[in-house]
Structure formats: C-alpha cells, structure tokens
Amino acid sequence: MVTGAAGGIGSALARRFHAAGARVVLADRVAPDRVAADLDGAVALSVDLSSEAGNIALIDAAEAHFGTIDLFFANAGVALGSDPMDDEELWEMSFNINTHAHRWAARRLLPAWLERGDGYFASTASAAGLLAQIGSAPYSLSKHAAVAFAEWMSITYGARGLKVSCLCPQGVNTAMLNSDSPVGTGGDVVRSVGEVLEPADVAQIVYEGITDERFLILPHPEVADYLKFKGSDPMKWIGGMQRLQRRTLGY
C-alpha cells in the first residue's frame, strides 16, 4: 500500500515495488487510475486521509482485494501555511495528513501485524523532520512528529516483528517542491544546498533501504552530516540556518 501515489515519490514507489513483484494498492485524494493502469493487477483507491475513518476505510478496501497488507507506506503529505499566525485549519490539515494519518493507519494495522509477528510500516517524512524547514512551521513541525512516531514505533514494536523505515529526503523534483507553497518557495533554499533528485531515483534508494530494513533512509547523504552538526552545536546550527534564510529568502 502506498498513499499519495498519484504522482511524485508515491507513484515512483508504487512502480518500483511492482517491478520487484509486489501486488500494489495505490491511494490518493483522487484515485491514481492512470498510474495503476500501467501496473498489472494494481488497485487504485480514492481516499480522504485527513480523518481516521478515511484511513480505516482505505485499509479495509485494500484487505478486501488482497487479504493482508505486508508493507504500508504512508507517503501522502501536504505543504501548507507558514507561521503560528496561520488559520487553525491549515495547522489541523498539516498534522492530519503528515502525522495523524500515520498514527491512524498504524492503529488499524498493528493488531494483525503483532499477532503474526510480522509487518512493515514505512513513512515519508522529510529532511525538514530531522533538521528544520525554512518557510513553513506547520510542515516542519508535522514532519518532525512523523519522524518521532516512526522512531517510537520501531523502539516499541521492533522486538515483536515490526519493521519500520522513515524516508527523509531533501530536494526531490515533485509538484510540492515546484509549487508556490511555503515549502515550494523553499525550493530555492533546497537547490542552494544540495542536488534535486528525481522521484524514480528516490524510489530505488527506498527499495534498497527496505530490502536492508534500514530505519532512516536518506537519499541525500549530506543530511546525515547536517544532523550530526545540529546535534553537536545547536546554537551554531541555528545561526547558520538564519544566515541561509537571509541569503536565499532575503529576511
């Protein structure tokens, strides 16, 4: 199961998993029929991930088709808002899609996975979830929460057969990066500090990471270096981020 599969990283993941022999279910706000049409036996579903009921209905429908879900990839995400003064609706939607959807899916999937001692939960967070997002507070906070939830899941259930991976890319050539959203506007920042990868390249790295059962999947290796720097000297890190913001966004 891959959510947010109508395009970008999600559709690339679905294609890569299918190429490896998986039976795939693709889900998005509008059913990704065009992607599924290229993948023999794939199922495309329309889903509202902003509610627990929508996540439950999605998993119920997928299990009706294939019986069980071995790997659930919570990839769907939104880039909304900029700062604490934004409307509550933007904050609520950001956390519902970027974080709570992961929790709601896990609540529905965990009982069966723990009973059989096997299951794989993967999620797309962001380098912003490990570092910080220049431009959007709702995106940065909700992605931090997504990383924390994946980490908690691995710590808590890893000894009971649950495998967990968390994808944290930097710049990827998707509609989100190229949009006028605060995160998209931050694309100038992303391009100034690293390579922008194609979704298919990220999907290959993810496939290798899941095959190796790695928790943290970093398509941009420099993110690991940034994370070490941030941990070793937080004040210097913040000062550097302030300078980067002034240089790229002018404030």
pLDDT along the chain (251 residues), means of 10: 97 98 96 96 96 97 95 95 88 97 98 97 97 90 98 98 97 81 56 83 98 98 96 96 87 80
Q: Distance between CA 96 and CA 115 in Å, rounded?
A: 27
How many domains are there within the chain?
1
- DSSP labels, 98-120: IIIHHHHHHHHHHHHHHHHT-EE
Query: Does the annotation mark 139 as catalytic?
Result: yes
Q: Distance between CA 83 and CA 88 in Å, rounded?
A: 11
Structure tokens at 188: 């100038």
Model pTM score: 0.93
116-167 pLDDT, tens digit each: 999 999 999 999 999 998 888 999 999 999 999 999 999 999 999 999 999 9
Mean pLDDT of the chain: 93
> In terms of residue numbers, what domain contains 156?
2-249
Burial, 204: exposed, middle or buried (Cβ in 10 Å; 0-12, 13-18, 19+)?
Answer: middle
Query: What pLDDT is attached to residue 247?
Result: 85
Q: Distance between CA 11 and CA 116 in Å, rounded?
A: 29
- Nearest CA among 190, 194, 186 for reference residue 137: 186
Select which of 120, 139, 157, 226 is catalytic: 139
Q: Distance between CA 66 and CA 100 in Å, rounded?
A: 25
CATH classification of the domain holding 88: 3.40.50.720
Separation of first and last alpha carbons in the chain? 41
